[in-house]
Structure 1
């Protein structure tokens, strides 16, 4: 079983990329973030023609998340948003696939440390932590995939000194990431790759991708039950080389049966 996450930065623009990537990489589950697409105009027909089902939580111009899956969804109903947390921004969707509870999350960017948007980010992360804790009590096999907008360690940043205590790399954000892990989750990528300079996002400007000046902010956190099945996790840089790419690229987790 393969699960992947990808912030596509506009599904309308990047739909051909998603379809081409799925044709070459027929993962079982693909979590998408930043659809930037109103709910009614989601391209379901194109997704289904590619052999996938989809559930989504769209929002015009901003945000939006989706789960694409080859297998039927199971049991518990699809959940949109963080239960109990009032939020106009559409950033979370959850479903169960092949016995795995999949939560797709697009974490708030936060703009700048100390700003109102940063305070919203920290409140949002606290609500996410509460929700994930509740889900873990019901689902021993759980994966939290998405664009976290957090680089967990200095080795996840091309220039730690320049990014020191800046948004995405600040102590409060990194502490929030560690609190998620402390619930019983592991960073799947770091189970297999301990190297520096492994990134999933590169700014469009100043040839940042060509120079590999990026951040690792797209993550897959998994429970102990899935950790025992984890066979590999990698960042696929290929789509970032395509014409008009997203500034993010997919992260893919492989699970044994």
Structure 2
């Protein structure tokens, strides 16, 4: 059985970025993909086009905003949850969970939270707490689990080019970072930071002030692995070339390579 490549990619509008997404899928051939910020209702999700490209999919869309999807190469994801459990009254499409190729995949698009303080930041923290509660239940399962997506959190100052102009931003607030730390304390492994403990690795470069050209980036897209999956982590990286494409998203895909499960007996 070959290794698995699991990726997360905030496409920033699947309608506008579909050609970019298809180019990346063809070149990098990830096995499992978590997409965020579809900005498309379910009926506008390009499932047929993705199927032609070799990917089965499940999606949880929302017109104009948010939206998440899980893709599987040469397979069909088996839906577990559409929406974060315990938040059935939440109208924002931000969480999707499916069983894919032997892994439980949680795809998430955490609220941005700006401007803060204010109701948007309160919503971010409330959503984060619900995620933490659900993540604890996933930890108790005996399945390999990945929680992948745009967390809208810069975990430490090592994960940003400079904090100077971002000090008031919701992504860097102590409360946001504390929530992320709470997740790690449950036993989740931050794949990129685990393999590259001292390196500046970025996944997002905004469209302003030539931040891409100057490599003024942030690391806000994360793949967290539970203790059952973590020992199989072999490699991780960022497909930064995608950010340099024409009409690119402001995020680049982030991926992990997972070794095959070892069979005993």
- TM-score by shorter chain over 0.5: yes
1:254 aligns with 2:257: yes
8 Å contact from structure 2 (residues 57, 76) kept in 1: no
8 Å contact from structure 1 (residues 165, 171) kept in 2: no
- Aligned match of 1:211 in 207, 210, 214? 214
By how many angstroms is 1:139 displaced?
A: 4.2
The residue aligned with 2:263 is none
Counterpart of 1:168 in 2: which secondary structure? helix
d(CA) in 2 for partners of 1:121, 1:191: 26
Counterpart of 2:193 in 1: which secondary structure? helix
d(CA) in 2 for partners of 1:196, 1:206: 24
TM-score when scaled to structure 2?
0.93
The residue aligned with 1:188 is 191
Alignment of 1:88-103 (within 5 A): 88-103=91-106
The residue aligned with 2:77 is 73
1:56 aligns with 2:59: yes
8 Å contact from structure 1 (residues 200, 250) kept in 2: yes
In the TM superposition, structure 1's runs of 4+ consecutive aligned residues that sit over 3 Å from their partners are none
By how many angstroms is 1:214 displaced?
A: 1.3
Counterpart of 2:6 in 1: which secondary structure? strand
Counterpart of 1:94 in 2: which secondary structure? strand
8 Å contact from structure 2 (residues 142, 228) kept in 1: no
The residue aligned with 2:156 is 153
8 Å contact from structure 1 (residues 236, 250) kept in 2: yes
Counterpart of 1:224 in 2: which secondary structure? coil
- Aligned match of 1:228 in 222, 231, 253? 231
Counterpart of 1:5 in 2: which secondary structure? strand
The residue aligned with 2:20 is 17
The residue aligned with 1:87 is 90
d(CA) in 2 for partners of 1:184, 1:194: 17
Counterpart of 2:114 in 1: which secondary structure? coil
Alignment of 1:106-117 (within 5 A): 106-117=109-120
My pick for the range that moved more, 133-142 or 177-186, is 133-142
- Kindly provide the CA deviation profile for residues 19-40 of structure 1, in whole angstroms up to 9, marking residues without a partner as x: 1111111111010000000111
8 Å contact from structure 2 (residues 203, 251) kept in 1: yes
Counterpart of 2:63 in 1: which secondary structure? coil
The residue aligned with 1:201 is 204
d(CA) in 2 for partners of 1:6, 1:101: 18
CA RMSD of aligned residues (A): 1.2
TM-score when scaled to structure 1?
0.96
Segments of 5+ residues of structure 1 without an aligned counterpart are none
- Kindly provide the CA deviation profile for residues 45-72 of structure 1, in whole angstroms up to 9, marking residues without a partner as x: 1100011100000000000000000223
By how many angstroms is 1:96 displaced?
A: 0.8
The residue aligned with 1:105 is 108
- Kindly provide the CA deviation profile for residues 119-167 of structure 1, in whole angstroms up to 9, marking residues without a partner as x: 0000000011111111222243100000000000001011124333531
